[in-house]
Structure 1
Amino acid sequence: MARAERPARGEDPFVAGISRHIWHTKYRCGSADDGEPDIHATWERVAAALAAEEPADRREAWEARFRAALDGFRFLPGGRILAGAGTGHRVTLFNCFVMGVIEDSMDGIFDALKEGALTMQQGGGVGFDFSTLRPRGTRTRHAHTIASGPVSFMDIWDATCSTILSTGARRGAMMATLRCDHPDIEEFVDAKREPGRLTRFNVSVQTTDAFMEAVRADADWPLVFPTEALEPDAGPEEVVEREWPGHDGPVPCRVIRRVGARALWERIMRATYDTAEPGVLFVDRVNHWNNLAYRERITASNPCGEEPLPPYGACNLGSINLAAFVRSPFTEGAELDLAAIRDLVPVAVRMLDNVVDASRFPLAAQAETERSNRRLGLGITGLADALIMLGLRYDSEEGRQRAATAMGTITHAAYRASVELARERGACPVLEREPYLEAPFIQGLPEDIRSGIAEHGIRNSHLTSIAPTGTISLLANNVSGGLEPAYAFRFRRHVLELDGSTTEYPVEDYAHYRWRQRHGEDTPLPETFVTATELDPHAHLAMQAALQPLVDSSISKTINIPADFPFPDFADLYQRAYDLGLKGCTTYRPTPERGAVLELEDSVLAPHCCSPERETD
Structure 2
Amino acid sequence: MCRVLTVPNEGLPVQPFSREVLSERYLKAGELGCDDIFRRVSKALASVEEKAAQQTYEALFLKNLRDGAIGAGRIMHAAGTALESTLINCFVQPVGDTVQSVHQARDEAGETLRRGGGVGYDFSCIYPRHAEATEAFALDPCGYIDMFDTACAALAGLGARRGAQMGVLRIDHPDIDAFMQAKRKPGRWTTFNVSVAVTDAFMHACMNDESWQLVHHAKPNKTVQAAGALQRGDGLWVYETLPAKVLWQRLTQSAYELSEPGVLFIDHIQRDNNLRALETIATTNPCGEQPLPPYGCCDLGPLILPRFVRHPFGLAGDATFDFDAFEASVALQVRALDNVLDLTRWPLPQQREEAMGKRRIGVGLTGLGNALTMLCLRYDSDAGRAMAVRIAQTMRDAAYRASVSLAIEKGAFPQFSTHTYFSAGNFASRLPEALQRAIRAHGIRNSHLLSIAPAGSVSLAFADNASNGIEPSFAWQYLRKKRAADGSQTTHTVEDYAWRLFRSLGGNVRTLPSYFVSALDMTPASHIAMMQTMQPFVDAAISKTVNVPENCTYEVFEGLFLQAWQSKLKGFATYRPNDIVGSVLQVT
Give TM class, smaller chain. over 0.9
- Structure 1: gaps (5+ residues): 242-250, 602-617
TM-score, with structure 2 as normaliser: 0.95
1:217 lines up with 2:208 in the alignment: yes
Aligned pairs for 1:102-251 (under 5 A) are 102-140=95-133, 143=135, 148-165=139-156, 170-227=161-218, 238-240=230-232
Aligned pairs for 1:78-477 (under 5 A) are 78-100=72-94, 102-140=95-133, 143=135, 148-165=139-156, 170-227=161-218, 238-240=230-232, 252-331=235-314, 333-439=318-424, 440-475=426-461, 476-477=463-464
Q: 1:228 to 1:451 in 2, by over 3 A?
A: farther
Give 3-state SS (helix, strand or coil) of 1:252's partner. Answer: coil
Deviation, 1:541, is 0.3
Once residues 563 and 423 of structure 2 are traced to their aligned partners in structure 1, the CA distance between those partners, rounded to angstroms, is: 28
Give 3-state SS (helix, strand or coil) of 2:427's partner. Answer: helix
Deviation, 1:228, is 7.4
Q: Which amino acid aligns with 1:363?
A: L
Deviations 1:491-548 (Å, cap 9, x if unpaired)?
A: 1222234565444332111100111012255551111111111110000000000000
Residue of structure 2 in register with 1:604 after alignment: none
Q: Which amino acid aligns with 2:576?
A: R
Residue of structure 1 in register with 2:535 after alignment: 548
The match for 1:536 among 523, 526, 544 is 523
Once residues 270 and 291 of structure 1 are traced to their aligned partners in structure 2, the CA distance between those partners, rounded to angstroms, is: 34
Confirm or deny: 8 A CA contact 2:152 2:191 kept in the other structure.
yes
Residue of structure 1 in register with 2:580 after alignment: 593
Give 3-state SS (helix, strand or coil) of 1:280's partner. Answer: strand
Give 3-state SS (helix, strand or coil) of 2:215's partner. Answer: strand
Q: 1:436 to 1:167 in 2, by over 3 A?
A: farther
Residue of structure 2 in register with 1:609 after alignment: none
Q: Which amino acid aligns with 2:312?
A: P
Confirm or deny: 8 A CA contact 1:227 1:252 kept in the other structure.
no
Once residues 558 and 537 of structure 2 are traced to their aligned partners in structure 1, the CA distance between those partners, rounded to angstroms, is: 26
Q: 268-277 or 18-27, which moves further after superposition? A: 18-27
Deviation, 1:433, is 1.4
Residue of structure 1 in register with 2:7 after alignment: 5
Once residues 507 and 466 of structure 2 are traced to their aligned partners in structure 1, the CA distance between those partners, rounded to angstroms, is: 19
Confirm or deny: 8 A CA contact 1:139 1:147 kept in the other structure.
no
Deviation, 1:599, is 3.0
Residue of structure 1 in register with 2:25 after alignment: 26
Deviations 1:137-164 (Å, cap 9, x if unpaired)?
A: 2125x64x77531011111111111111
Confirm or deny: 8 A CA contact 2:525 2:560 kept in the other structure.
yes
Once residues 157 and 321 of structure 1 are traced to their aligned partners in structure 2, the CA distance between those partners, rounded to angstroms, is: 35
Deviations 1:170-208 (Å, cap 9, x if unpaired)?
A: 400100000110100111111111111111110000000
Q: Which amino acid aligns with 1:318?
A: G
TM-score, with structure 1 as normaliser: 0.90
Q: Which amino acid aligns with 2:475?
A: A
1:63 lines up with 2:49 in the alignment: no
1:563 lines up with 2:550 in the alignment: yes
Residue of structure 2 in register with 1:244 after alignment: none
Q: Which amino acid aligns with 1:27?
A: Y
Deviations 1:571-598 (Å, cap 9, x if unpaired)?
A: 1100011111111110111002333422
- Structure 2: gaps (5+ residues): none
Once residues 129 and 201 of structure 1 are traced to their aligned partners in structure 2, the CA distance between those partners, rounded to angstroms, is: 12
1:493 lines up with 2:480 in the alignment: yes
Query: Please, what is the CA RMSD of the aligned residues?
Result: 2.1
Deviation, 1:239, is 3.3
Confirm or deny: 8 A CA contact 1:25 1:497 kept in the other structure.
no
Once residues 339 and 169 of structure 1 are traced to their aligned partners in structure 2, the CA distance between those partners, rounded to angstroms, is: 41
Q: Which amino acid aligns with 2:283?
A: A
Confirm or deny: 8 A CA contact 2:114 2:160 kept in the other structure.
no
Q: Which amino acid aligns with 1:485?
A: P
Deviations 1:434-466 (Å, cap 9, x if unpaired)?
A: 110235211211122111111111100000011
Confirm or deny: 8 A CA contact 1:317 1:376 kept in the other structure.
yes
Calculate percent identity across the aligned residue pairs. Answer: 42
Q: Which amino acid aligns with 1:93?
A: L
Residue of structure 1 in register with 2:34 after alignment: 39
Deviation, 1:233, is 5.8
Residue of structure 2 in register with 1:615 after alignment: none
Deviation, 1:37, is 2.4
Deviation, 1:6, is 5.6
Q: Which amino acid aligns with 1:419?
A: V
Once residues 402 and 137 of structure 2 are traced to their aligned partners in structure 1, the CA distance between those partners, rounded to angstroms, is: 54
Deviation, 1:107, is 1.3
Deviation, 1:311, is 0.4
Once residues 165 and 158 of structure 2 are traced to their aligned partners in structure 1, the CA distance between those partners, rounded to angstroms, is: 15
Deviation, 1:286, is 0.2
Deviation, 1:39, is 1.8
Confirm or deny: 8 A CA contact 1:137 1:146 kept in the other structure.
no
Q: Which amino acid aligns with 1:133?
A: I
Q: Which amino acid aligns with 2:28?
A: C
Q: Which amino acid aligns with 2:448?
A: H
Residue of structure 2 in register with 1:507 after alignment: 494
Residue of structure 2 in register with 1:245 after alignment: none
Q: 1:454 to 1:228 in 2, by over 3 A?
A: farther
Once residues 357 and 470 of structure 1 are traced to their aligned partners in structure 2, the CA distance between those partners, rounded to angstroms, is: 26
Q: 1:229 to 1:464 in 2, by over 3 A?
A: farther
Q: Which amino acid aligns with 2:553?
A: P
Confirm or deny: 8 A CA contact 2:528 2:546 kept in the other structure.
yes
Once residues 290 and 280 of structure 1 are traced to their aligned partners in structure 2, the CA distance between those partners, rounded to angstroms, is: 18
Once residues 146 and 430 of structure 1 are traced to their aligned partners in structure 2, the CA distance between those partners, rounded to angstroms, is: 35
Q: When the two structures are aligned, how many residues end up with a matched partner?
A: 579
Confirm or deny: 8 A CA contact 2:502 2:509 kept in the other structure.
no
Confirm or deny: 8 A CA contact 1:26 1:168 kept in the other structure.
no
Q: Which amino acid aligns with 1:124?
A: G
